[in-house]
Structure formats: structure tokens, C-alpha cells
Structure 1
Amino acid sequence: MTKKDLIWLSCFAAGVAAGHFGTKSSDPEPLSAVLEPAPVEIKEALEAYPVVIIGVRNTPFGLTEVATDKGVVYLDQSNTIGIWGHAQALSTGRNLSAPALGEMARFNAMAKYRSPGEAVKLPIREAGINQIPANQAPNQRVAEQIASIRTAPQIDPKSAVEKLKPAPKENLTAIPKIGFAPDGSVLSKSETEVQVQSLFSKLDDSWVVTYPAVGEEKAQVAVFHSHTCGYCRRLHADLDKITAAGVTVKMLFYPRSGHADENQQMLSAWCAPDQTAGLNALYRNTRLNHACESLPEDVRQQRHPNPIHQHQWLGQVFGVPRYGTPTVFTSEGQVFSGYRNLRDFLAKVL
């Protein structure tokens, strides 16, 4: 008879679903180092916490492991109870959370790509609608939080791209965020895909930097990106291979640092005579000094003078957090964040 072990969880916050403690199992193998994207229900469960979800994986001891930038949390099957800490096999002392902690370390190491002096601390996300008990009447502050989750801030109509303006509607000051209807109700997965497809179809070439597919076009994607983002650099380095596979990539600027220089360099890349060459130079850390006023009149007429603010607004429609780049959405209605490698990316979009 092989020795049995209990899985020991070191906790910062106590609590686990009934039945998890006291369940014996053999010494489990180390968890896979491959993280999967977090499903919507897990994102909603952790929405009220100041963390960025890096990825998730199932465990052999009945809990879902969630790697975040602040540590590892284990969720029960209902995603209502969470335990912060690490899992350890008692007989060997093996830290079963090591792969997730390694992903956290790598994620936080990307701080070197941020602007000098920029804090690594991430902004606290808006409170999630699912954290409000159904039988509790929301106060004014909670009501405002609910509204902020469901709608994106309205931009100046004078500078808005016509195709992306919200349709006039009584008591509607902004278009709904992805996953929500104008009345605030939650959309189904298929309805959300249609919503994303509709927004994608409205992306005008004068409003994005486009890397066209080579040969037959098999897919179209749009990417919220920043040259200060390590994972965006991985994606950008593979753009030639991505387009060679038949994928057209539309790049949307999404500044992360809040520094004027980041915005200025993005705008300079946008104003380059050859925009893809300008963006490539930006990702090579080349200082740019292009101005749209210097472009020929016919070129200026064919592109938006400065779409960065609108790109940020659209990112908020998609719920992209400050350090949520790259976030990708496709013409077929899929949305996902991060960039692992070329093979994984193409498997998602083709």
C-alpha cells in the first residue's frame, strides 16, 4: 500500500468548501507549468480584488489554482470560496504551487519594460456585480460601481470615430461594455461573440495600424498593445510569422504608464509616413520624432489625426485593465489576453 498524503494549504485567508479538508490522495505530480486563460466566471469571482489574473489550471485535489500578480489563490468548484497561499505535499515537502509562483515572478519581472520610476503596483479593479447579494438594495456608491462595470466612459463626440459612437438612446450615455446589453443585463457567450463581431466590423483602416495577411487572408484580429509591455514585444516579434500564416493584425494603442512620453512616442509612430515601419522602430526602442502636421495633405486625409484616446476608450469597452496588454479580439468574436507563443496564438485565431 503506497503512502497517502494530505494536501496542506498554507492560507492567508481561511475557508474552503466542505469536503476538501480530510480528503486523502497519493503524492500528486507537480502541476503542469501550462496556464490556461481564466474563464469568465473566475474573472467575475475575483473582480473586486486588486489583482491581474495570469492564468488558471485544475489541480488533482479538487480546487482550481489561479495565478495572479499578487500570489496564488485556490477556488472551490462554485468559485465562492478562495484560499490564498500555496499547496504542499506533506510526505515530500514539494511545493505544488511552484509553477504558478514562477509564472507570477515572470509576470512581475516584466516591470523592466515599464517606464523608469513607474510603480509596479496595479490599480484596484471596479467592484464586481456578482459581489452584491441579490437581496441587498445597492446604495448610491454601489450603484455607480455597477454602472461603471457595464458601460464605458463616454468620449468627446467631436473627436469620436463616427462608426464607434454609441447610438442615441434615452438614458444611455455610453455604449455597453463587452458582455453586457444596453439595459445592463448580462449577455450569453453567443450574444457576446456577436457583440464583438459587430465592434470589429466597425474598425476603419484610417483608425488602426494594419499588418496585412500575406497571401490568402484566413483571419483578422485586433490587438490592444503597448511597446512598454513585455508580452506585446513577444507578439510583435512574431508579427511576420503571424501575417505569413494568413492573419491580418490591426494594432490599437493602449498606453499603460500614464506618462506623457509613452503617449507621445505612440503618436509619433502613428504619424510616421510608413506606420508599420514607425511601429517596428518603436518596438526596437528607437526614439521617434514624427508629426502628423508634416505629412502630405492627401496622407493626412486618409488617417485619423490622433486615435490613441479613442483606442483607450475602446479598451475600456472591452474591460482591458491598465496592465492587460496584449488583449486580442477577433472578427469571429473571440477575446483573449496575453501572448504565450506563436503556436498557441495561431491555434486560437485560426
Structure 2
Amino acid sequence: MKRVLFALLGAISLSACAQGPQSGGDVAKAPGAQAASANKAAPIVTGRAPNAAANTPEARAIAAVRSLNPRVEIDKVRAAPIPGFREAIVQGQVVYVSDDGRYLFLPGPQGALYDTTTKTDLSEQSLAAIRKDLIKAIPVSERIVFAPPNPKYTVSIFTDVECGYCRKLHSEIAEYNRQGIAIQYMAFPRMGIGSEDHKKMISVWCAPDRKKALTDAKNDRPVPARDCKNTVSMQYDIGQRAGLTGTPMIIAEDGSTVGGYLPPQRLREALDKLAQGGEAAPAGATDPVAATGG
């Protein structure tokens, strides 16, 4: 799943690591951490945070951020313009934390509402359900499918014939299948409706052998220009409504995103983790869509 929240709070900040332990009240050990003892265990060090009286909304906001990443630096905590929330400046970003410390909201285009108690991205849960319903509108007969005989997993992928990461993924299609993963491609001409990219994808979807045409297009082999009744524009529209910002976009069967391009083994590991009830945090790469494309 694509999460600016994880990038901000889940990854260890370079500045905190570089500074290391500091003296005074700005840095303290995380709850339960002990100083290095006979076993040479290193202390857990937190980044800077403003002083806050115990059992106040400010203190709970700091604790909520610390629960996600104790090493980030919190520059300021104050009353938010939203009733019932505190506003915190964390690593140069604004986040809002509910006064009880349970919910953390990251605003912006890739915003998320996070339950710090259950460690759940509530926004992604809602979006996953919406994506699952949206892609149901694209019949399997309108997708280009590469599948092993008895797949363990099936993923739906919005793809483009021009993007580099889409081509890299497709060059390894046999290995994805060997990993037990069925690939169902959906069209997303990232240069937008009416572009040469769009026309080329229509030619692929109108070809008598779509799988061959798609493979040829992704390898810069000529694909005869064709036009027919097709769903390429409809698929593109659904991709936009699903929140696509780059291709490829890999969607698991539950509607959650599994990142952009991931090597076959890593995609299998991410799907295994999802199947076990975990979250497959995205680490894949994508090519951005054109500004005119959405």
C-alpha cells in the first residue's frame, strides 16, 4: 500500500540517526527502554520533542507519533483548527492527532487516517473496498491474462505499453507465473485519452491475439493499427477513480495496492504477507502519469 504516512513516520529519519543521543530534556529513552547493561544492549533513543505536561492532549499526541517511530523529531504541538485534535509538526510535515492519542491524520493528496492502537491505515481499508468494486466493472474477458495452470494468487495490474517499469514487469511474466501468480492486465495509457499511447493500446486490445500484441508493443515491435469497439477508455477512467498516479499499479484480490513494479519473489512475499493478515507496504517503482492524463 502506498503510504506517505509510513515514509514520514515508519522509516527511521536520517537526521535522528545522524544526531544520535543528545543531552538534556530534548531526547529521552523510549518507554521501557533500559540503558546499555551487561549484555551490551544499546539504548533506544528518541528524537526531539517539545515539553508537555503528563496526561494532556499534547503529551498524548507526542506518544502517538512516538508509537509509530520514536526517532522522528517533533518540532511543535499545539491546538489544531479541527476540534478534538492537536496539530504536530513532524519532520517538516503537519499531522493531526486526536486528543485521546488514538487517531493520526496526515493531510494532503496521499493523506491517511491511522489508528495508532491497532496500527491500521483506515483510509487504505476504505480505498481497498472501493477499488475492489471499481475493477469488477472490467470483465476478465476485457483483461489480458497471463496465468499459470493453478494460480495461488491473482493480481490486477493497470499497465501501459510505454512505461519502463511496466516493460520490466512484463519481461519477467514467466517468473511471476512460476511463483504461482496470475497477472490480469488492465489498460491505462498514461499519456491520456487521444494520445499516441492511447491509440497504440487500442490497437493492442483490438488485436486478434492480445497477449502477443501486448508483448510486441512492450518490446517496440510493430503492432498493426486497429480500431474496434473496446474498453480501453473505460479502463483508463476506472484507473483514475482507483487513485492511480503511476504505472504499473498492482492490486491484490482484496483491493489493496501492492505497490508498483516488484520482482517476482518480492511480489510473492508481499501477497503471502497479505494472505496471513498483514500489510504489504509498497516498495515498488512506477512511472508517473502525464499531467494531461489525469
TM-score normalised by structure 2 residue count: 0.53
1:302 matched residue in structure 2: none
- Residue 270 of structure 2 corresponds to which residue in structure 1? 348
Distance in structure 2 (CA, Å) of the matches to 1:206 and 1:215:
17
| Separation of aligned partners in 2, 1:307 and 1:280 | 19
CA distance 1:76–1:220, change in 2 (3 Å) = farther
User: Which of the numbers 236, 249, 252 marks the counterpart of 1:327?
Assistant: 249
Q: Partner of 2:150 in structure 1?
A: 216
Q: How does 1:77-116 map to 2 (within 5 A)?
A: 80-82=89-91
* TM superposition shift of 1:247: 1.7
Are the structure 2 counterparts of residues 310 and 218 from structure 1 closer, same or farther at C-alpha, using a change threshold of 3 Å?
same
For 1:274, give the aligned amino acid.
D
Q: 2:3 aligns with which of 21, 35, 39?
A: 39
Structure 1 match to 2:241: 317
Letter in 1 for 2:259: S
Change in CA separation of 1:257 and 1:292 when aligned onto 2, cut-off 3 Å: closer
Distance 1:341 1:289, change over 3 A: same
The residue matched to 1:220 in structure 2 has which SS? Answer: strand
Deviation at 1:38, TM superposition (A): 4.9
Q: In 2, Cα distance between the equivalents of 1:272 and 1:204?
A: 17
| Aligned residue runs from structure 1 range 1-350, under 5 A | 38-41=2-5, 57-59=11-13, 61-62=15-16, 76=73, 80-82=89-91, 188-211=123-146, 213-258=147-192, 260-293=195-228, 305-321=229-245, 324-350=246-272
Could you tell me which runs of 5 or more consecutive residues in structure 1 were left unpaired when the two chains were aligned.
Answer: 1-36, 46-55, 64-74, 85-129, 133-145, 151-177, 180-185, 294-304
Q: Write the distance in 1 (CA, Å) between the matches of 2:135 and 2:233.
A: 18
CA distance in 2, matches of 1:77, 1:222: 39
Q: Which amino acid aligns with 1:217?
A: P
- Alpha-carbon distance between aligned partners in 2 of 1:309 and 1:347, rounded to the nearest angstrom: 33
Distance (Å, rounded) in 2 between the aligned partners of 1:272 and 1:203: 18
Give the distance between the partners of 2:174 and 2:157, measured in 1 at CA: 15
- Change in CA separation of 1:229 and 1:77 when aligned onto 2, cut-off 3 Å: farther
- Secondary structure of 1:221's counterpart equals strand
Are 1:201 and 1:331, in contact at CA under 8 Å, matched by a contact in 2?
Answer: no
Amino acid at match of 2:182: T
Distance 1:250 1:80 in 2: 42
Output the CA distance in 2 between the equivalents of 1:341 and 1:77: 36
Displacement of 1:270 in angstroms is 0.8
Identity %: 21
Whether contact under 8 Å (2:205, 2:232) holds in the other structure is no
Check conservation: 1:325, 1:337, Cα contact below 8 A.
no
Unaligned runs of 5+ in 2: 18-71, 76-87, 97-106, 114-120, 273-294
Change (3 A) 1:76 1:334: farther
| Amino acid of the structure 2 residue aligned with 1:209 | I
TM-score (structure 1 length as normaliser):
0.45
Aligned pairs, number:
191
| TM-aligned CA distance change 1:77 to 1:311, over 3 Å | farther
Q: State how far apart, in whole Å, the 2-side matches of 1:217 and 1:265 are.
A: 30
Tell me by how many angstroms 1:200 deviates: 4.1
